[in-house]
Structure 1
Amino acid sequence: MVHLNNVMQYYINNIKKELKDLALLKHKRALDGMSLEFQRVFTLLPALFHFHHPALPGYLNEDTPMGIACYQGSDEVFAQLKNEFNFNLPQTLNKADISALYSMGSTCSIGQSVTSDLDIWICIENNLSAVRKSSLQKKCRLIEQWAKELGIKLTLFVVDVDRFINQHHECLMGENCGSAQHILLLEEFYRSANLLAGKLLLWFAVPANLTVNNTTYPSYEKCIEALVEQKIIERDQWIDFGPLTGLSAEEYFGASLWQLYKSIDSPFKAVLKTLLLEAYSWIYPENKPIAYQMRDFIQTFKSNEGCYLDSYYMLLQRISNYLIEIKDFPRLKLVRTCFYLKVNEKLSIANSTPSWRRKVLEDLVKQWKWDKQCFAKLDTSHTWKIEQVREIHEVLLQTMMTGYRNLLNFGRRNNLDSLISPQDLAILTRKLYASFEVLPGKITTLKLNISHNLQEEALTFIHVKEDRINRAGWYVYKQKPILDQIIGHQYLEYSKYLVKLVSWCYFNRLISDSTEFYYHDGEDRDKAKITKFIDDLKQYFPIDVPAATEEQLYGPCEIRHLAIILNLENDPTTQCELDHEINTNILNYGKKELSLVGSVDLLYRNSWNEIRVLHFSGTLCVLEAIKALLNRMHKDADLPNS
């Protein structure tokens, strides 16, 4: 038994060494190529939570938890505290209210870039009173503010270790993830967590087969009891968030539903997470998340696998293998594009001191058989104009809808119909269609946040009449109306009606204060009306509005912002002689009893954040517009905001 214990002790010690070596490597990688401000915040964070002193950022004049278990600050950090804050180390510090600090998400991985946020978990072990925990959270807000002043987006989360063991579902990371993301959030933590200071994660040391000294235990908890009783581990050296068990179909469905819902507002950012969940659900009921893979590599001492267990690199591998298996090559191309942009290394620009990220990315693009032209285009994505953004928007749209269909199929395969909340599904469906459904009067807006500036220097609106080669309606070009500049160029957008076309340009941010407008409708070249219309839009119609709430999406759509545009398309007053003696009714004017309203356009944003245009022309246009408006403003509806 003593011999077996020694073998087991040797095994555990080697795992501890693997975990510490990985933490050191990832810490070094996290600092590589980052700004001095980032390096300063990242390096000092553990010391700011270990010590609590008026000279240091985050100080509160109240009983605030301090001290990190197993903390060993470097001489460089202590010198930095002395130089920057004139802080001298105390003689003794026996307190350890905090168990560990872990970074998670893209930090320390190839997915970390100079624009990445820092997400840090402050892990505590349930011995803090509510008052002291509140004090620790206040300290977190002060340290976040200190980082913000240095230009670093830092988010700190105080996390009880029993959050997952006892299945607490309070909001975490600013998201209403609830029980749907319970185990999958823990999986993401185990997959991406990197130790900054404190105790090691026990889950990585507990044998996957729950066997200790030739005895297999019935549960994860019993296995830990055996390791402690046989003095193979010292319990207070480890932090335990519990096992990754019970990944149910309901959780996969719920988490995928939430991720898909979230991705509608920032589809480019969420593609990788959404597809990872799809890849996990593809092999369900077999549960093999990436965190399991990482634990296997650590327990077999193969920590150099997967680019040294890089969470984003392994995520890319898992998604790629899945898409290749199902022969979905368009989405595979999109995933590689998203990954390339996430790493943000710009391979087309020479670099005399390449980072480790750049070297890995160079190997990947060789595997993908990308030529320089391919990644040079992506390297200039911040300068893209509407054509390139729309091209990738179409691919993202197809990806989202494919994911939505696959999610519904997964639900049906696993008989989840009765477990799916009809309200949740209705809200997701409505949000998907409100964002992406193409309808005749609806303005499609591109929400990718790739390019920094979609504005154009000049926009030319040209009208084509009936009985011409091109279909009748309005076309917009991003050139000035010089014949040899227009000919051979593709128009940006077409609409049968001018209001919709101008609004499309406005809501997709093509129009700036300096944009020049040109207007051709046969012989008429007067652009005054368009200019006035655009001025009105800027004044009354905000482009950015809060996202539709779940309550709004579940309820009937109501008009929120409304513009009624008269005679932009067809203006009878230009052909009319003033007549003060006969009849001055604008709908029945003068001797000829003409209507002075030739066209009415209703431009409105509804409570689902759709932007719609309705066009009416002819002698009955006013009545038709009023009828359409009343149909959309039912008696229980709130009045429009403006």
Structure 2
Amino acid sequence: MDRAQALRVFQAHNRARISRLIELAPPKQAMFYRLLPLLFHINHKLLPGYVSDDCPAGIMDYQPDSEALHSAISLNRNFIHRRKALRRYALRGIYLLNPAGQIRYPEPASFDLWLVHHATLKPDQLAQLQNKVEAITQWVATLGITLRYRLLNETQCRNEALSATERQQFYLQGLCIAGSAPLWWLITSEEQLSYPQIAERLLSQRGLTQISLLDFGFDSSVEAQALFNDACQTFKKSLQGDATALLDLVFLQHQLSLFPNVIPLAERYKQQVEQGETDSMQVEPAGLKLTEIEQFSTLDDQKIARQAFYALCGERLSQQVHHPQFAWRRFSLQKIYTNWSWSADTLKIEDSRANWSYPQRQQWWSDLLPKLQRFLSDLQQFAKQHLASAADQLDELGKLLALTLDNTDSVIEQLPIAMQMPNGPEQLYLYRFVEQSDWILSSIPLSDAKQVGLNQHKSLVHLLAWAVRNNILTTRSWLRVADQKHQININLVLELTQTLLKSPLPLTQNEVSSEAFQQPAKAEQLMLFANLQTTGSDIQQTGAVQMASLNTDPLSYTSSRQNLVNSLDLLVYSNWGQWHHYRFDGVNAVAEGLSQTLKWQPATQLSSHILCWCATGFFGQAINKRLQTLFEAVLTHYQYHPQQGRYLLTLGDRLLQIQWHDDALHIKPFAAGKTLNQALAEEQKLYLPSRVDSYLDTDNLLNSLLLYQQQQIVSLFAYRQTDTTEVYVVDELGGYSNLLIRRLRNR
């Protein structure tokens, strides 16, 4: 193929790519791509980005077409374009880099814009041009497009201003929107070893083509750091359950094994053009990757890559479509997939991916996890051989994978967001059979405990939280409950379900930041569920409750000092993106729940992100308020003294303290009959800043005095009355005592 033929093929692919980008884009965004070259070709007050009439404008070899002019008129009906010749064109070309390719429109839409200008532009002109680009970038952001721009001097394109990776990305992904064509299009694969000499000779041959050419240079080397960074990003996307990212995953794993003997994908593109490939789908980055995988990878990897490519295309070939929306994509995919030997059933399964049941999704994800583990292992080996330091990035990836594999009892398992069902089943069935203690959630009716449901767990809170978190139980679900043990009120289950659905559980989590992994996981949100029993009455309190009493503390109620909270379920959300469930039973359930919360080294804002729900009907609101106040007080005290501290409260008829020092936490019950003053006066070996529960300090005297506690300082307070003086002592270890001194009479 001669140079003229190669140029024509490259130009044809370039036109097809631009046309398909516009075709795939939503109407408002498509308008921008049509309008883009016109915005820089002229300065017009009615167009976005206008700075001044003196702003550098004009693109070499460009004349606005009817689509560009109609787009301008659609923005402002008063727009009128008058053609006029420019003495000098300020811009050599405008180029848009689309990393996602033109098989499917990127979501979110994100591109790189390169503007190559003449070397003769002065600093003030460059400043004006930059202001214009920034104004256009801000305008296009209102359309939902992220645009990262770069201004390049025409002489910078072939020197160190561009790295080898940037050049290869440009040749592979770049769309020549308007202006000079890349000289690289005209130089054959065999000539690339002598690229500088041939480029200089071609540029000196005036009249070689009827269009202007621009030399962006050439470098066939693949940078280890760039390859590593791409692999890290692809691994993260794969962990999020993005099936389309698996094509890149398989391709990059192959490149990691070949390095440094890697042939850049841009060169594969050129080879396909030289072989006369006219199908633009085949020379899309995704198509080139698939071709290479099918030539060099294992059958298992080929299967994964084909599934990913098919998902990327978004066509359902098992269905007959007489007028496809994107005919070029469907016809090209039909031609490609004929070599895959897929059966009709396989095709139907892939086409129904969006409607897969939870077991199908879970099985697919479980089958994929070993592949992800091998990829990370290969990446670690690559970094060890070719990079000076990559410990932080590898540590982050290792923790992300560990979270995915984490099957600790407390963890509420969840599929990656991209793998979750868009809408859960309309009918759900919740069972607890006589012969077992577990609750079973199913999408079909069950007749006995031997049948398998979607999931089962001994904790009702854990099971329902799992269903909500995985988008199985939603606001549109009909839930039928059958408890053969008759130990729970059905309405209570439905009320609990509504509480979970209105909680933060269904919300889409943000991507975990790299900074979060540099420290231990911290609790960010907390939900408390009191008195939800699984082995007894759920709505009745054990023992008689005296209604007439001045002692109204739900944790030490009436003269009998009854603790009305005999079980506590905790749901904790950490800044590592996981939900955890804990269950505590007995008179110390609240203290154990507090201790477990403090083990999470809670974040500062946790005290304002607490949700409480109680299954006890008559006392429910009082218990909710008490737990809310108590947890907020303990967490606030912890925030002021995270290294060491103690909190004293009464549960039932027993005084106890929760204390922490460094990483150690324990609950210390005091002997029966011990008063608060006696407990505070006990000798301590360590400085433990103290705080007393508000129900033990109704006049706030103790907590006011304890505000003055400091290491190595003893504070004395005297309150003089008629015949006595009361002295309060706050010692250097956070202890407290008081003395009563009677007044001596003068003789």
Using the size of structure 2 for normalisation, the TM-score is: 0.69
SS in 2 for 1:268: coil
Q: Which amino acid aligns with 1:287?
A: V
Shift, 1:409, TM fit: 2.8
Q: Does 1:285 align with 2:228?
A: no
* 8 Å Cα contact 2:243/2:311 also seen in 1: no
Q: Which amino acid aligns with 2:81?
A: N
User: Could you give the per-residue CA deviations for residues 326-371 of structure 1, whole angstroms, max 9, x where no partner exists?
Assistant: x4x1x43232222112111222332224512112212333322223
Q: Does 1:70 align with 2:45?
A: no
Q: Does 1:565 align with 2:529?
A: yes
Change in Cα spacing, 1:229 to 1:88, as seen in structure 2 (3 Å) is closer
**Cα distance between partner residues in 2 of 1:308 and 1:332:** 16
Unpaired runs of 5+ in structure 2? Answer: 610-747
Q: Give the structure 2 partner of residue 92 of structure 1.
A: 85
**Cα distance between partner residues in 2 of 1:565 and 1:62:** 67
Shift, 1:604, TM fit: 0.7
**Cα distance between partner residues in 2 of 1:41 and 1:168:** 28
Shift, 1:396, TM fit: 4.1
**Cα distance between partner residues in 2 of 1:94 and 1:338:** 51
**Cα distance between partner residues in 1 of 2:500 and 2:157:** 50
* 8 Å Cα contact 1:385/1:454 also seen in 2: no
Shift, 1:476, TM fit: 0.8
User: Could you give the per-residue CA deviations for residues 534-558 of structure 1, whole angstroms, max 9, x where no partner exists?
Assistant: 3433444252243222211211211
Shift, 1:286, TM fit: 0.7
Q: Give the structure 2 partner of residue 7 of structure 1.
A: none
Within-5 A mapping of 1:243-258: 243-258=218-233
Q: Which amino acid aligns with 2:392?
A: Q
Q: Does 1:136 align with 2:133?
A: yes
Q: Give the structure 1 partner of residue 473 of structure 2.
A: 511
* 8 Å Cα contact 2:51/2:131 also seen in 1: no
Shift, 1:603, TM fit: 0.7
**Cα distance between partner residues in 2 of 1:232 and 1:92:** 21
Shift, 1:207, TM fit: 4.9
Shift, 1:242, TM fit: 3.2
Change in Cα spacing, 1:266 to 1:196, as seen in structure 2 (3 Å) is farther
Q: Which amino acid aligns with 1:548?
A: V
Shift, 1:525, TM fit: 5.0
Shift, 1:124, TM fit: 2.2
* 8 Å Cα contact 2:203/2:213 also seen in 1: no
Change in Cα spacing, 1:502 to 1:221, as seen in structure 2 (3 Å) is same
**Cα distance between partner residues in 2 of 1:539 and 1:620:** 29
Shift, 1:503, TM fit: 0.7
**Cα distance between partner residues in 1 of 2:233 and 2:24:** 34
Q: Give the structure 2 partner of residue 461 of structure 1.
A: 430
Q: Does 1:105 align with 2:98?
A: yes
SS in 2 for 1:504: helix
SS in 2 for 1:309: coil
Q: Give the structure 2 partner of residue 631 of structure 1.
A: 599
**Cα distance between partner residues in 2 of 1:59 and 1:525:** 69
**Among candidates 564, 567, 590, match of residue 599 of structure 1:** 567
Change in Cα spacing, 1:389 to 1:60, as seen in structure 2 (3 Å) is farther
**Cα distance between partner residues in 2 of 1:114 and 1:348:** 25
* 8 Å Cα contact 1:203/1:240 also seen in 2: yes
Change in Cα spacing, 1:131 to 1:51, as seen in structure 2 (3 Å) is closer
Shift, 1:283, TM fit: 1.5
SS in 1 for 2:428: strand
User: Could you give the per-residue CA deviations for residues 255-288 of structure 1, whole angstroms, max 9, x where no partner exists?
Assistant: 3123323443453342222332222222112121
**Cα distance between partner residues in 1 of 2:2 and 2:545:** 101
Q: Give the structure 2 partner of residue 123 of structure 1.
A: 115
Q: Give the structure 1 partner of residue 339 of structure 2.
A: 367
Change in Cα spacing, 1:606 to 1:281, as seen in structure 2 (3 Å) is same
Shift, 1:114, TM fit: 9.6
Change in Cα spacing, 1:168 to 1:550, as seen in structure 2 (3 Å) is farther
Q: Does 1:402 align with 2:374?
A: yes
Q: Give the structure 1 partner of residue 360 of structure 2.
A: 388
Using the size of structure 1 for normalisation, the TM-score is: 0.79
User: Could you give the per-residue CA deviations for residues 395-442 of structure 1, whole angstroms, max 9, x where no partner exists?
Assistant: 443433232122123334x254xx223222222222232344332211
- State the number of aligned residues: 592
**Cα distance between partner residues in 1 of 2:127 and 2:39:** 21
Q: Does 1:475 align with 2:440?
A: yes
* RMSD between aligned residues: 3.9
Q: Which amino acid aligns with 1:574?
A: Q
**Cα distance between partner residues in 2 of 1:72 and 1:404:** 50
SS in 2 for 1:574: coil
Q: Which amino acid aligns with 2:111?
A: D
User: Could you give the per-residue CA deviations for residues 481-506 of structure 1, whole angstroms, max 9, x where no partner exists?
Assistant: x666x899741112232211111111
* 8 Å Cα contact 2:56/2:128 also seen in 1: no
SS in 1 for 2:91: coil
Q: Does 1:352 align with 2:350?
A: no
SS in 1 for 2:414: coil
**Among candidates 387, 391, 397, match of residue 428 of structure 1:** 397
Bigger Cα displacement from structure 2, 585-594 vs 193-202:
585-594
Change in Cα spacing, 1:274 to 1:444, as seen in structure 2 (3 Å) is same
**Among candidates 555, 573, 577, match of residue 609 of structure 1:** 577
* 8 Å Cα contact 2:430/2:481 also seen in 1: yes
Q: Give the structure 2 partner of residue 173 of structure 1.
A: none
**Cα distance between partner residues in 1 of 2:315 and 2:135:** 36
SS in 2 for 1:351: coil
Q: Which has the higher contact order (CA 8 A, sep 6+)?
A: 1
SS in 1 for 2:319: coil
SS in 2 for 1:52: coil
Larger Rg over CA atoms: 2
* 8 Å Cα contact 2:474/2:501 also seen in 1: no
SS in 2 for 1:578: coil
**Cα distance between partner residues in 1 of 2:460 and 2:116:** 61
Q: Which amino acid aligns with 2:294?
A: S
Change in Cα spacing, 1:431 to 1:35, as seen in structure 2 (3 Å) is closer
* 8 Å Cα contact 2:157/2:215 also seen in 1: no
Change in Cα spacing, 1:186 to 1:390, as seen in structure 2 (3 Å) is farther
**Cα distance between partner residues in 1 of 2:606 and 2:21:** 51
Q: Give the structure 2 partner of residue 177 of structure 1.
A: none
* 8 Å Cα contact 2:526/2:606 also seen in 1: no
Q: Give the structure 1 partner of residue 177 of structure 2.
A: 196
User: Could you give the per-residue CA deviations for residues 450-496 of structure 1, whole angstroms, max 9, x where no partner exists?
Assistant: 6773233333322356xx4x6x42211124xx666x89974111223
Q: Give the structure 2 partner of residue 332 of structure 1.
A: 302
**Among candidates 412, 415, 423, match of residue 443 of structure 1:** 412
Shift, 1:32, TM fit: 6.0
**Cα distance between partner residues in 1 of 2:503 and 2:312:** 36
**Cα distance between partner residues in 2 of 1:103 and 1:540:** 43
Change in Cα spacing, 1:434 to 1:164, as seen in structure 2 (3 Å) is farther
* 8 Å Cα contact 2:269/2:288 also seen in 1: no
Within-5 A mapping of 1:142-291: 142-145=139-142, 148=143, 153-161=144-152, 183-208=164-189, 217=194, 220-221=195-196, 223-229=198-204, 237-265=212-240, 267-291=242-266
Q: Which amino acid aligns with 2:223?
A: S
**Cα distance between partner residues in 2 of 1:221 and 1:503:** 63
**Cα distance between partner residues in 1 of 2:266 and 2:567:** 62
**Cα distance between partner residues in 1 of 2:282 and 2:553:** 80
**Cα distance between partner residues in 2 of 1:63 and 1:436:** 60
Change in Cα spacing, 1:15 to 1:262, as seen in structure 2 (3 Å) is same
**Among candidates 536, 548, 551, match of residue 499 of structure 2:** 536
Change in Cα spacing, 1:168 to 1:541, as seen in structure 2 (3 Å) is farther
Change in Cα spacing, 1:618 to 1:83, as seen in structure 2 (3 Å) is closer
Unpaired runs of 5+ in structure 1? Answer: 1-9, 170-181
Q: Give the structure 2 partner of residue 576 of structure 1.
A: 542
Shift, 1:306, TM fit: 7.8
